[in-house]
Structure 1
Amino acid sequence: RAKRTSLRVLGTVGEPINPEAWRWYFEVVGDKRCPVVDTWWQTETAGHMLTPLPGVGPQVPGSATRPFFGVEPVLLDDKGNELQGEAAGLLCIRNAWPSAMRTVYGDHKRYETTYFAPCKGFYFSGDGAKRDADGNFWITGRVDDVINVSGHRIGTAEVESALV
């Protein structure tokens, strides 16, 4: 067993981490003392977009929590309407941020089609998310990784979380 006394903070990126895995990571790897920074970002965003701030904001197992400084996430329905309060929908970003990419090299049309055409006036991440009553964001996975079960659209991340 390795000593982990020098650990001060734990990070997780990539796919959403479910609450059970988050708790294990915090309790076992972090010895119940290291905050877990579970971020949401993309290569295209070039920086954290949703992230907890240890010692400042809440630690919410399984949630990427709140927007980073200057980032304005919004949830849209399938028709492009902005959803308020507790909701689930397409995760988009309202305004540009300092590290926002400006184009796809050699293919500006693809840049516009991929990131801005699906949700007019917003950066379209391609991910789904939920916002809880406290304003925390929960990434549900890629919107193109969806299983249709009896008319209910279920993200593969939700299925994976249920199996853990």
Structure 2
Amino acid sequence: LVLHDLVAEAAVVGYPHDIKGQGIYCYVTLNAGIDGSDELYAELRGHVRKEIGPIATPDHIQFTDGLPKTRSGKIMRRILRKIAENEYGSLGDTSTLADPSLVDRLIDGRQNR
């Protein structure tokens, strides 16, 4: 995903999927001035299919203004995974996040309700 010209940053996590066992959930931060749209969603899915293959096509792509990072800049995939699994009530320790308010925005914008 980060090879796409409009993507600034991305994180990919797995989540339980009823049919496949494990689904692919992507969090994507776009470059400044770019807004997420259905067309861009489809374009990014096609980009992954072309670059990696159909097996890696994301089930969900959530456009977000940022990713949950520690103060040292490490992406907290544990939190992203819990949100993708709809287990956001058990996120664990979030005291090391640089921007704790981002978690609420990610929960509100989740794609697999």
For the superposition of Structure 1 and Structure 2, which TM-score range results when normalised by the shorter chain? under 0.3
State the TM-score, normalizing by the size of structure 2.
0.26
Give the structure with the higher percent helix: 2
State the TM-score, normalizing by the size of structure 1.
0.20
Flag the structure with larger Rg.
1
Greater relative contact order: 1 or 2 (C-alpha under 8 angstroms, separation 6 or more)?
Answer: 2
